[in-house]
Every structure is written in structure tokens, then in C-alpha cells.
Homo-oligomer: A and B are copies of this chain.
Amino acid sequence: MAGTVEQKLTEQGISLPEPRAAIANYVGFVRSGNLLFVSGQVCANAEGKLIAKGKLGAGVTTEQGYEAAKGCAVNLLAQIKAALGDLDKVVRVVRLGGFVNSAPDFLDGPKVLNGASDLMVAAFGDKGRHARTTVGVASLPADAAVEVEGVFEVS
């Protein structure tokens, strides 16, 4: 039973994967009051394969990074759906934290993260606009090119 937001995504060719199951003593999300904290999501696709692997500035292009960040955002949405049952319960995307697997001289992290930001606005419209922090990190789990975490206000 897909809500309005999920239908809008479907029309844009975006379907939500099964959220990645917890594989340790952490979980995909925790709600506290009206805030939903979602764990950092790497850029895996619905089959669990990385959309982009390796470092920006050393093999992975900014365009590939953009698609990877978009994939991270789709995985955030999948966690939200698992948490709330319906993406329509998102009141506001509050904050995204973006981590780009970067060579020391890669400076275009924001262009990469736009892949995640654009997806949030495609899904939620103005409610999808968020505070954001983008940094380039030395390495990411499984050599993922991008990882994105999020905080969401929910009803």
C-alpha cells in the first residue's frame, strides 16, 4: 500500500528496496519523539550491489558519485518506510550527513551529495529541503563511494 510520496517516486522510476537488515547490535533507525534517526546508508542497490565502489578523485567520477548518493537516499527512504509504514508521514527532512570516499585532492563533495538532496526534493517537495553537511572521508565500509545518514521529523 503505497502513499502519495511513494507513488510519485514510482512515476519517476524509483522503487524502494527492502531495507538492509541489522547485521549487528545496531538497527536501521531509531525514533525518539518526532525525530527519526536513520543509520548511515551506503550506496547499495536493491540487489545489495554497490552502485559505485572506490574513491572519488581516484577512479569514481563525480557523475557516478551523484548516482551513488541518490542510491543512498533511496535506501534512507526504504528505512523510513520500514519505520513508519508510509513515507507520507515525513513532516520534514531535517538533516543529511554525507560522507564521500575521497582522494585527498577531491573537492567536489557537494556535487556528489546533490544526488541525495535532489532525490529528497523529488520525493517530498519543499519538505524535502534539509540542512546538510558534506565531508570527504578516508574510507567507507566495503569501499562504498558514498554513505549518507539522516534525521527526519515525522508524525
Contacts and interface: CB of A to CB of B under 8 A. Distances in A.
Contacts of A110: 24, 141
A140 to B, nearest CB: 6
Interface in A32-73: 32-35, 37-40, 55, 57
A128 interface: yes
A34 to B, nearest CB: 7
Nearest to A128: B25
Interface in A113-134: 113-114, 117-118, 120-121, 128-134
Interface residues of A, number: 61
A147 interface: yes
Given A37-B131, A129-B27, A137 B140 contact: no
A133 B25 contact: no
Given A32-B94, A35-B32, A138 B136 contact: yes
Interface in A1-55: 22, 24-30, 32-35, 37-40, 55
Interface of A: 22, 24-30, 32-35, 37-40, 55, 57, 92-97, 99-100, 102-110, 113-114, 117-118, 120-121, 128-143, 147, 149, 151, 153
